[in-house]
Structure 1
């Protein structure tokens, strides 16, 4: 797939990623390394806790959505540089057996005034489960290159 440049994007453009299945083994494996709290790693303790069972770490969900972004390549071969993440909210617990899907929408497209060969794109991301309920949302600011100008043009 060829690269998509700053000029190729428009406010309101949106796309969905692939289904992201959540398994108990993956939830426990991730949390054992990165977020070893009982509701993420201990089925017995989790069953007695406020969630009534194992739930995924929010950081696990965020990492899975990032992988989905890379694998679905919404910007083609264009490498992206994340600059900022705002308004991260985990709105509903994610449980083994859930299937998530991330929807991304371009909220702003702005060329840099000081570096005209690039710009920034603000993207709204909403992650919903198989029931259509929002599990996570955030906005992301990424840097993306402008279309190169042919040699000799300015």
Structure 2
């Protein structure tokens, strides 16, 4: 198990592999973001996207899938997240793209009111198969401490 004490500020973690499919782009858009450029080739071709593109929220969901797989693989003692900041959709994501992530741990501190957990802040960057940045955000995470009485 990887606890708060095991996490090092400045560490960069590379993870994930997600193949974006046309079927999933359309299915997600039908349910959550039914704008024409996420659903119809002809409509999308007439926009600045130039072709069918994934919803930014779909990109965020695919990123979450890769993030959770990474946390489970590394057996991190995660306790959820109080939120994200600075979410940016930088480049469109298209069917046929393959996504991957990099996360940098920016800071960490022990909770003053809940000594059994620490609070971490990281920046996640999502890249396509051409190493082009497509999305970024900063997130807070809650992680169990190994020793609630410990200090940093």
Alignment TM-score > 0.5, same fold: yes
Residue 79 of structure 1 deviates from its aligned partner by 3.3
Residue 133 of structure 1 deviates from its aligned partner by 1.1
| Structural RMSD (CA) | 1.8
Alignment-derived partner of residue 109 in structure 1: 108
Residue 20 of structure 1 deviates from its aligned partner by 1.1
Cα contact 2:115–2:148 (8 A) shared by 1: no
Find runs of 4+ consecutive structure 1 residues off by over 4 angstroms: none
Residue 28 of structure 1 deviates from its aligned partner by 0.5
Cα contact 2:121–2:140 (8 A) shared by 1: yes
Cα displacement string for residues 123-151 of structure 1 (whole angstroms, at most 9, x for unaligned residues)? 1100011111110000000111110469x
Cα contact 1:5–1:75 (8 A) shared by 2: no
Residue 75 of structure 1 deviates from its aligned partner by 4.8
- C-alpha distance in structure 1 between counterparts of 2:82 and 2:2, whole Å: 18
Alignment-derived partner of residue 30 in structure 1: 28
- C-alpha distance in structure 2 between counterparts of 1:131 and 1:11, whole Å: 28
Residue 137, structure 1, aligned to residue 136, structure 2: yes
TM-score (norm 1): 0.90
Cα displacement string for residues 63-122 of structure 1 (whole angstroms, at most 9, x for unaligned residues)? 011111111226515233111200000000011111111111111110012222111000
- C-alpha distance in structure 2 between counterparts of 1:54 and 1:29, whole Å: 13
Alignment-derived partner of residue 119 in structure 2: 120
More displaced 10-residue stretch of structure 1: 109-118 or 27-36: 109-118
Cα contact 1:28–1:41 (8 A) shared by 2: yes
TM-score (norm 2): 0.91
Give the direction of change, closer, same or farther, for the CA distance of 1:134–1:22 in structure 2 (3 Å limit): same
Secondary structure at the counterpart of residue 64 of structure 2: helix
Secondary structure at the counterpart of residue 17 of structure 1: strand
Alignment-derived partner of residue 46 in structure 2: 48
Count of residue pairs brought into register by the alignment: 149
User: How do residues 55-66 of structure 1 correspond to structure 2 at under 5 angstroms?
Assistant: 55-66=53-64
Give the direction of change, closer, same or farther, for the CA distance of 1:119–1:134 in structure 2 (3 Å limit): same
Cα contact 2:25–2:53 (8 A) shared by 1: yes
